[in-house]
Amino acid sequence: MDLALHFCQSGVMDRSTEKPSARIEDGVFLGFVLIVSVAFALVVEPFFAAILWGVIAAILFAPVNQQLIGMMPRHRNSAAALTLLLIVALVIVPAIILAMALVQEATLFYAKVQSGEINFARMFAQFQASLPGWAAAFLDRLGITNFAAVREMLSAGVASSFRTVATQALQIGQSAFSFLMALGVMLYLTFFLLRDGPKLAAMVDRAAPMRTAHRRALINQFVVVTRATIKGSIVVAIVQGLIGGVVFWVLGLPGALLWGVLMGAFSLIPAVGTGLIWVPVAIYLFVTGAVVKGLILAFCGMFVIGMVDNILRPILVGRDTRIPDYVVLITTLGGIDLFGFNGIVIGPVIAALFIATWNIVTKMRTGADGLEGPLTE
């Protein structure tokens, strides 16, 4: 009996001493997990943009890939390869062709500026001469009277901007190998995400240390917002840029392709959008006497280009994400400032996850269920 009591006591002591040891081991393992995760993030950081756009491409074209899998259920590799070829044909090749044409257009435009065919100083002088008396008096009251200095500053600024564009184009040409490598990584990753996407999503679902309802709601929100943001923004940008470029070309304005691409790029910024391009040009046409062209451009800008944004964006973006416009604007600008062009996607996605997370917290505090439903209402 004494021996049995001894073993029982020793067993209790062993179990009691295992608890602190287990906690230490768990803490060490958690620290190791964090270190390895940070190290992995640092290793893949140079290809962050390629990975991001690979994930986006896989999310956008997942429905197409699923349809192909439905037609050939035993050939997932073939379905993923066909989807990848579709991505190359519809997205990559047109983007490269447009970029080459844009560089050529910018080079020609810069050559015209250098040769004096496009003279910003003369344009500004025409603008100054065409000002009505009340406008000149108003500028005089504001102290804006040294038009020569302003003209020289604008001319120098425009020339410097185009020199910067030419330099960037040269750098892009010199770093073509890096671009091709990033493009290859993106396409390679996209193939495996298309082929093994459901398995990888299930692995993330199992590994995430969250409640099932919470993590599935967040994953669903990430997919929905990413798909809606890209689908809506890209479609709106293409349509607005195309219409803007055609309007500039019809009006005989130089650099129609360049301005069309710029309008498409600026349309990615909510609220402000293409007005940053066509409004100053319309004002210039008015003050230089081209009133008819100014009226046509203003009408097309407000009622054609602007209506495209007002009609298409709520249909393609708003119904899926239901994020307030002011939140989209602020987070898009903030994302661009932090992440560059990639911030156009990252900003709204972070905003959607922020809103979704706090909606989950609110439902937890109020004891509400149904976390898998829409979280941004």
Q: What is the per-residue pLDDT for 156?
A: 58
Could you tell me how far CA 263 lies from the centroid of its own chain? 15
- One-letter amino acid for residue 267 of the chain: S
Q: Which residue has the higher pLDDT, 164 or 58?
A: 58
- Inter-helix orientation angle 76-87/48-71, to 10°: 120
Higher-scoring residue by pLDDT: 143, 281 = 281
Residue 160 has pLDDT above 60, yes or no: no
pLDDT higher for 129 or 104? 104
Contact 277, 259 (CB under 8 A): yes
Identify the residue with better confidence: 95 or 168: 95
pLDDT at 192: 92
pLDDT given at position 15? 46
Confidence (pLDDT) at 85: 94
Quick check: 237 and 267 in contact, CB under 8 A? yes
For residue 191, what pLDDT is reported?
92
**372 vs 213: CA distance, rounded Å:** 6
Average pLDDT, the chain: 75
Give the rounded percent of residues in the chain with a pLDDT score beyond 70: 69
Per residue in 172-198, pLDDT (tens digit) is: 555 666 778 888 889 999 999 998 888
| Per-residue pLDDT at 199 | 85
Q: What percentage of residues in the chain have a pLDDT greater than 90? A: 6
The pLDDT value recorded for residue 91 is 85
Q: Report how far residue 25's alpha carbon sits from residue 325's, in angstroms, rounded to the nearest whole number.
A: 48
pLDDT at 133: 66
Among residues 254, 262, 313, the alpha carbon closest in space to that of 285 is found at: 254
Question: Measured on CA atoms in the order 192, 193, 195, 199, is the torsion positive or negative?
Answer: positive
Q: Looking at this protein, which amino acid is placed at residue 363?
A: K
Gap between the Cα atoms of 251 and 28, Å rounded: 69
Beta-carbon count within 10 A of 104 CB? 13
Q: What is the C-alpha to C-alpha distance for residues 278 and 300, in angstroms, rounded to an integer?
A: 9
- 142 or 326: which leads in pLDDT: 326
Looking at residues 206-211, what average pLDDT do you find?
Answer: 76
- The pLDDT score that the predictor gives to residue 124 is 63
Among 273, 248, 255, 271, residue whose Cα is nearest residue 263: 273
Q: What is the pLDDT of residue 264?
A: 83
35: Cα within 13 Å, side-chain hemisphere: 6
Is 3's pLDDT higher than 70? no
Q: What is the DSSP string of 96-163?
A: HHHHHHHHHHHHHHHHHHHHTSS-HHHHHHHHHHH--HHHHHHHHHTT---HHHHHHHHHHHHHHHHH
Position 222 scores a pLDDT of 75
CA 124/CA 131 separation, integer angstroms: 11
Residue 108 confidence (pLDDT): 75
* CA–CA separation, 20 and 26 (whole Å): 10
- pLDDT score at 255: 74
Mean pLDDT in residue range 257-286: 79
HSE-up of 118 (CA within 13 Å, CB side)? 15
User: For 297-338, how does the pLDDT look when each residue is reduced to its tens digit (9 = 90+)?
Assistant: 888 888 888 787 777 766 766 555 566 777 777 888 888 888
pLDDT at residue number 12: 47
Which class for 128: exposed (0-12), middle (13-18), buried (19 or more C-beta within 10 A)?
middle
Give the pLDDT confidence score for residue 188 in this predicted structure: 92
Average pLDDT over residues 153-160: 56
Distance (Å, whole) CA 132 – CA 270: 34
Please, are residues 197 and 223 in contact by the beta-carbon 8 Å criterion? no
Contacting residues for 65 by C-beta, under 8 A, at least 6 apart: 79, 80, 83, 194, 197
Structure-token pair, residue 373: 């439903």
Q: What are the distances in angstroms from CA 72 to CA 60, 187, 196?
A: 20, 22, 15
Q: How far apart are CA 148 and CA 233, in angstroms?
A: 41
Determine the Cα–Cα distance for residues 56 and 327; give it in Å rounded to an integer: 21
- Average pLDDT of the residues in 205-232: 76
Helix axes 176-207, 147-174, angle to 10 degrees: 80
Closest CA to 297 of 233, 267, 252: 252
- Calculate the alpha carbon distances from 278 to 121, 157, 273, 334, 374 in Å: 20, 19, 10, 24, 37
